[in-house]
Amino acid sequence: MSRSPRQAEPPRGGIWDQPLARTPFVFVDLEMTGLDETRDRVLQVCVERVVGGTLVERVSSYVDPEGPIGNAAVHGIGAEEVAGAPTFAALAPGIRTILEGAIFIAHGAKFDLAFLKAEFARCGIPWEAPFFIDTLHLSRRAYNFKSHRLSVLAQELGIACPAAHRADNDVRVLRELFENVLVVLTPTTARDLWNVRVGLAHARPELTAELEQALAAGTGLRLRYRPAGRSVQEIPFHVTGMRTDLDPPMVIGYLSHTRGRRELRIDRILSLEPANAPGPKP
């Protein structure tokens, strides 16, 4: 199989490669009058800048769309809630400051990115985030749920969600979902999370390097692996070969306890540890 074209990636160093505890993340959710960013407008915005799990800055407000509010049966926001609210132009400088120098996180992120960029453009403020983290991709890799809508994920993971489709509620859920995903994927940097791109059969380079080290050293591993349509498996594994020329890349080896041969997709490995490491994290 031929390999996929190499995608541009976040610049090396800085926020993408420092420890997660020091990395500034901005969690974003918007409610809009419709689905077309070229004509529809933002009705509600919540933007929270978080470092090491601590809220640093926040903008949360209803927004005057300066026109029709759209179908309230869809977004659930009434005209009375946006009456007297600030326009996006009034909120834009504060939102732009919070976004500066941080990693953008949203659920189905391209949708929020498109609307933010359009609203900033109307204000004459240039802005874009070419590299971001989408919790929709992270949840699809980490969990075997029938749906990955934010409200469903909240229910599955026991996260309180009293007001779905309200930006402030959804950002709180988003932050808790993110913390849950960190436990499953055990990343060390934001770049490692950016490399989780479901649908592209993309293997996280950090895990690939660790597998190559285990192959060279002949050491056993304990893998956390999630096959398509199934829950996470704990696999005691001994690496005997790698096929990084394939899409998706494969690791070849055998089960340490049965000697049964297995070929595993590297993009579906969630985490790995030496075979003699302590038990899996809760």
- The tens digit of pLDDT for each residue in 240-276 reads 999 999 888 999 999 988 889 999 999 999 999 998 7
76 or 237, which is more confident: 237
pLDDT tier, 7 (very low <50, low <70, confident <90, very high otherwise): low
Asked whether 191 and 16 are in contact (CB, 8 A), the reply is yes
pLDDT for the residue 199: 76
Measured CA distances, 221 to 109, 213, 225, 273, 278 (Å): 34, 11, 12, 6, 12
- The tens digit of pLDDT for each residue in 107-161 reads 999 999 999 999 999 999 999 999 999 999 999 999 999 999 999 999 999 999 9
Number of H helices, E strands in the chain: 9, 10
| pTM as predicted | 0.90
Asked whether 224 and 210 are in contact (CB, 8 A), the reply is no
CATH numbers and ranges of domains, the chain: 14-193 (3.30.420.10), 205-274 (2.30.30)
pLDDT for the residue 3: 46
Q: How many residues does the chain have?
A: 282
DSSP label at residue 267: G
Question: What percent of the chain has a predicted confidence (pLDDT) above 70?
Answer: 95
What is the end-to-end Cα distance of the chain in Å, rounded? 37
Cβ atoms < 10 Å from Cβ of 114: 15
